[in-house]
Structure 1
Amino acid sequence: MKKDYNSFDEIEYELKRLDLERQIAWEEMKALKIDVQEDLKPLNWVHTAINYTGKIGSLMFMKKLFK
């Protein structure tokens, strides 16, 4: 996208804005990296498996209870 600038102040403002957007995007990527690292830890997998097992077990118990 080509934009016409009328002064150097507009160019400087745009460069500062773009630099801040780049810094924000970089910080968001670092936060996502930490989130992915946390999600891939084996302890989290075990916790998730236990939760799903508990839910499935309770559903099977309710099914047997009402039969």
Structure 2
Amino acid sequence: MQLIKSRNTPALKRLSAAAPEDVYVVLATGRPCIGIKRCLVELSLRVDGNSCIINNGALVERMVDGSQW
């Protein structure tokens, strides 16, 4: 199952690579954590500082270690 449309993947990768050090990429989805992990790996977003908003906005999770806040 493809989570990110193939036409969007290159643009998202360029965005992530071009972002300055003090700019973070935040993915937001209604999916649970397990449903977004493949996206994080595919886009190389599992780095310190990046977060994702999951479970319809109920949780914010750090991508690098999975801690929630």
Q: Which structure: greater helix fraction?
A: 1
Q: Which structure: greater strand fraction?
A: 2
Query: Normalized against structure 1, the TM-score is what?
Result: 0.26
> Based on CA coordinates, which of the two structures has the bigger radius of gyration?
1
Q: Which structure exhibits the higher relative contact order, with contacts defined as CA atoms closer than 8 Å and separated by 6 or more residues?
A: 2
